[in-house]
Chain A
Amino acid sequence: DIQLTQSPSFLSASVGDRVTITCRASQGISSHLAWYQQKPGKVPELLIYGASALQSGVPSRFSGSGSGTDFTLTISSLQPEDFATYYCQQLKSYPYTFGQGTKLEIK
């Protein structure tokens, strides 16, 4: 199985900050990676697919990059509604594993 490791697991930041979350795969997955945002008590929502393609309706302050084993999710200027938990997921091969999550909190 392909393991995904996100870092950091917890991140404290302020409104307006630029933040980056990293996701590392245990083996190469080309660009078969998606990012999701989950707010407390809510359903996960798709942000990015294909490592860098922005899902329709997602603000342009979100961006993704990477290929192979190393990927990043960047939020260019944090907004109050961005404080949530973020998950990466590989969709290269079954099982479609998720990273352990990164909780983004308000500083």
Chain B
Amino acid sequence: EVQLVESGGGLVQPGGSLKLSCAASGLTFSGSALHWVRQASGKGLEWVGRIGSDADTYATTYGASVKGRFTISRDDSKNTAYLQMNSLKTEDTAVYYCTRLERSFYYDSSGYGYFYYMDVWGKGTTVTVSS
């Protein structure tokens, strides 16, 4: 069974830093792309960013609201991904989920390629930014 377990959340002051971890099991970690999604209390889902697999040369991409402040990394020897959050703002307060991006090949009249989807989610870790 594929499992993702986030940790590292907590209370931090505005302007502070926090590093979240996402420990994975039951999957070929180096071959898996991992994404971070957050959800403020009572609000919708917001895509934070991603780190690609080894085949994607571990490329990273970030959402506009966190770009330049957050950094995603991974340590394949530990089956763990990380979300380093700097210059935190009160609006970063949310539950942070780690997810696996899976893909499915398709071939139809329009051509061929892959459909991507987030099929495994961790239970999340809560980050509170407050003075």
A interface residues, Cβ below 8 angstroms from B: 1, 30-32, 34, 36, 38, 43-46, 49-50, 53, 55, 87, 89, 91, 94-101
| Docked-complex contact B47 and A96, CB < 8 angstroms | yes
A52 to chain B, nearest CB (A): 10
B interface residues, Cβ below 8 angstroms from A: 35, 37, 44-47, 50, 61-64, 97, 104, 106, 110, 115-119, 121-124
Given A32-B116, A101-B44 in contact, is the A95-B121 Cβ separation under 8 Å?
A: no
Given A30-B110, A50-B104, A50-B106 in contact, is the A98-B46 Cβ separation under 8 Å?
A: yes
B contact patch SS: strand
| Docked-complex contact B45 and A98, CB < 8 angstroms | yes
| Docked-complex contact A44 and B45, CB < 8 angstroms | yes
Q: What residues on A are CB-neighbors of B119 within 8 Å?
A: 46, 49, 55
Q: List 27 A-B contacts (CB under 8 A).
A: A30-B110, A31-B106, A31-B115, A32-B115, A34-B117, A34-B118, A36-B45, A38-B45, A43-B122, A43-B123, A43-B124, A44-B37, A44-B45, A44-B121, A45-B121, A49-B115, A49-B119, A50-B117, A53-B104, A53-B115, A55-B119, A87-B45, A89-B45, A91-B115, A95-B47, A100-B44, A101-B45
| Docked-complex contact A46 and B63, CB < 8 angstroms | no
